[in-house]
Amino acid sequence: MPTVKLKISGWLRQNLDAESIPSEGISISVREGETLPGMARQLAAQNDVFRRILFEEKNREFGANVLVILNGVLVNPHDRSEARLKEGDEVMLLPVMDGG
């Protein structure tokens, strides 16, 4: 099983209990060839807080409040199911910012 590094930033990290998620990220195991939505489903199944804050039940993937960066490149929400994870990948979740 490949291992990827998951980093979570901003208010997302604070709401997920910053104590349990160091700023340098956590390593997680994913199935070979797993997609980003698949990783989101895996995390949602393992962590109730993640499911409530970052997961969108309707689409069964990361919610609209989350930007996904894969190896330093922003992944278009429409392309997430095409992005296959491999050993050593880094996934960063950033909050969508809005304001007025």
CATH code of the domain containing 41 = 3.10.20.30
| 87 domain-assigned | yes
pLDDT for the residue numbered 19: 55
pLDDT at 73 over 90: yes
Domain that holds residue 16: 3-95
How many structural domains does the chain have? 1
For the entire predicted model, the pTM comes to 0.85
| 46 domain-assigned | yes
pLDDT for the residue numbered 59: 85
SS3 state at 57: coil
- Strand partners of residue 20: none
Strand order in the sheet with 66-70: 26-29, 3-8, 90-95, 66-70, 73-74
| 91 domain-assigned | yes
pLDDT for the residue numbered 21: 66
pLDDT for the residue numbered 30: 94
pLDDT tens digits, 32-71: 999 999 999 998 898 888 888 888 888 899 888 889 999 9
pLDDT for the residue numbered 71: 97
